[in-house]
Structures are given as structure tokens and as C-alpha cells.
């Protein structure tokens, strides 16, 4: 099975978690795109979606799937999204596509967070994938210095602006052994909007694509 076939398989498997007559949270990235295409096949069964990025909203609308502002809905039954890394505890690194802030907001609101990923994303500990941090532009240098004090090596994502008008620092060379603690430490740096650690609110379920089929981790 190719990596895309594994992504396709987990996207199909995630449809099982879609609750009829509710609002579905939809993530961002290539795996989430496979899910959007699957969701289109059953679009009549849901009330609509909240998207974690402009790009996903456009793809959903392209399929004729209603997309709502988060402030216009009462709740989200389930959030389906990919990840850049996951541990077996379902702690995640996200934000490779730069949508981490809206992803974290939608995950916070959702009753259930189902992560979909191919097996390359499963890791023993987080940090090999550079950790994305969304930062208010004027605080970029200050935040970078604070991250260096915490042991990371921040690199500005050149030529990239988030949907919220901010910049991303990708932090290299971190072996993240205490993701919840680091998530809180990063949140406490003035000028940080969001960091890509999803440990305080991990996924509830990970659907992992393998050459033998989809494995479910809870
Ligand atoms: C976007 C994300 C994505 O979920 C993450 O980058 C995984 O993307 P892909 O499914 O393309 O591997 O966090 O901000």
C-alpha cells in the first residue's frame, strides 16, 4: 500500500465516526483532504461543518458541503484531522500546514477528536518533526530567544502567513519527553498564539493506516 492509499483508508474509516444530523469539525492537510472527499459522499446526512482552515473550507464548499463559522454553531460532535506525529498516548504534533491555531480551537470544542494518519506518523516520542509555533509578528524575535532558553532551535517559516495573519516558528532538535509541560511553558511565552503540541487535549482515537489495514488506537 502506498502512503496515499493508507491516508485514503483512514479517511474512509473515519466516516464511521461521523454522527448523523450534527456539525462535523474538519481538519487541514492531505489526509484531511481525503476525508473531505469521503464526507462529500454522505453530505446529506450531516448538518454541516466547521473548517480549521480557509483551504479546507474551500474544498468543503467545492463539494457543496455547508461550512459554518464556529460562533454560529452550538457544538461539534466530532473533529477529524491528521497529524504530523503521534505517540501511542495520542499526544500529537500538528501544524505542518500552518493551521494549528484553528485546529486547536476546533479540537477544544469537539466532543470527540479522531486523528487520521498513515503509520509514518507514529513515533516513540515527539519532536523529530519540527514543532510549529504560531507567533504574533512583532514578538517573533523575543519568542525565538525564549524558545532557545528552553532548548529548542527556532526557524522562521519563510514566506508563510497563517490564516490569522501571524508567522510560524518551526522548532528543531527537541526531544519532547513531557509534552503537556512543554505545551504549557510555550503557551506562557508572551506573543505565542498557539503551539503545535496537542497534549492537554490529545486525540481520543487514532486511526492509523498500515500496509495491513487500519489500526485503531484509543
Ligand atoms: C496542518 C496539520 C496537518 O494535520 C498535518 O500537517 C498533517 O498533514 P498531512 O495529512 O498532509 O500529512 O496539522 O496544520
pLDDT in tens, 38-84: 999 999 999 999 999 999 999 999 999 999 999 999 999 999 999 99
* Percentage with pLDDT > 70 across the chain: 100
73 Cα: distance to centroid of ligand 1 (angstroms): 25
Which positions are catalytic? 103
| Closest ligand 1 atom number to CA of residue 7 | 10
For ligand 1, mutation pick of 3, 32, 198 (most atoms within 8 Å of CB): 32
- Cα–Cα distance list, 118 to 13, 91, 197 (Å): 12, 15, 19
64 Cα: distance to centroid of ligand 1 (angstroms): 23
Q: What is the 3-state secondary structure (H, E, C) of 82-122?
A: CCCEECCCCCEECCCCCCHHHHHHHHHHEEEEEEEEEHHHE
The pLDDT value recorded for residue 95 is 98
What are the pLDDT digits (tens) for 79-111? Answer: 999 999 999 999 999 999 999 999 999 999 999
**In the structure, what pLDDT confidence band is assigned to residue 153 with cuts at 50, 70 and 90?**
very high
Q: Is the pTM of this model over 0.95?
A: yes
Cα–Cα dist 218/205, whole Å: 5
For ligand 1, mutation pick of 10, 26, 31 (most atoms within 8 Å of CB): 31
The pLDDT value recorded for residue 104 is 98
Cα–Cα dist 37/53, whole Å: 16
- Cα–Cα distance list, 131 to 4, 83, 134, 172 (Å): 23, 12, 10, 7
The pLDDT value recorded for residue 154 is 98
The pLDDT value recorded for residue 155 is 98
Cα–Cα dist 91/7, whole Å: 19
Cβ < 6 Å from ligand 1: which residues? 27-31, 81-84, 94-100, 103
Q: What is the mean pLDDT of the chain?
A: 98
Nearest CA to ligand 1 atom 2: 95
**In the structure, what pLDDT confidence band is assigned to residue 16 with cuts at 50, 70 and 90?**
very high
- Whether the Cβ atoms of residue 163 and residue 54 lie closer than 8 Å to each other: yes
CA angle, 157 as apex, 155 and 160 as ends, to 5°?
A: 165
The pLDDT value recorded for residue 80 is 98
| Closest ligand 1 atom number to CA of residue 116 | 10
Cα–Cα dist 70/109, whole Å: 9
Nearest CA to ligand 1 atom 6: 96
What are the pLDDT digits (tens) for 112-123? Answer: 999 999 999 999
What are the pLDDT digits (tens) for 164-218? Answer: 999 999 999 999 999 999 999 999 999 999 999 999 999 999 999 999 999 999 9
Amino acid at each position: 500500500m502506498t502512503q496515499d492509499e493508507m491516508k485514503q483508508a483512514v479517511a474512509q474509516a473515519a466516516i464511521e465516526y461521523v454522527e448523523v444530523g450534527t456539525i462535523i469539525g474538519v481538519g487541514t492537510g492531505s489526509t484531511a483532504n481525503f476525508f473531505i472527499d469521503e464526507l462529500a459522499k454522505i453530505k446529506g446526512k450531516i448538518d454541516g461543518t466547521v473548517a480549521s482552515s480557509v483551504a479546507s473550507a474551500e474544498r468543503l464548499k467545492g463539494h457543496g458541503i455547508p461550512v459554518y463559522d464556529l460562533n454560529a454553531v452550538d457544538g461539534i460532535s466530532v473533529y477529524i484531522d491528521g497529524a504530523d506525529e503521534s505517540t501511542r498516548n495520542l499526544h500529537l504534533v500538528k501544524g505542518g500546514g500552518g493551521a494549528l491555531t484553528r485546529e486547536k480551537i476546533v479540537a477544544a470544542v469537539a466532543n470527540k477528536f479522531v486523528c487520521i494518519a498513515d503509520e509514518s506518523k507514529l513515533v516513540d516520542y515527539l519532536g523529530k518533526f519540527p514543532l510549529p509555533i504560531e507567533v504574533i509578528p512583532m514578538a517573533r524575535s523575543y519568542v525565538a530567544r525564549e524558545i532557545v532558553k528552553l532548548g529548542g532551535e527556532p526557524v522562521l517559516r519563510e514566506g508563510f502567513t497563517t490564516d490569522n495573519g501571524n508567522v510560524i516558528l518551526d522548532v528543531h532538535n527537541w526531544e519532547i519527553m513531557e509534552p503537556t509541560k512543554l505545551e504549557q511553558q510555550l503557551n506562557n511565552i508572551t506573543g505565542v498564539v498557539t503551539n503545535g503540541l496537542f497534549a492537554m487535549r490529545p486525540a481520543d482515537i487514532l486511526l492509523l493506516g498500515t500496509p495491513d489495514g487500519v489500526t485503531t488506537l484509543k
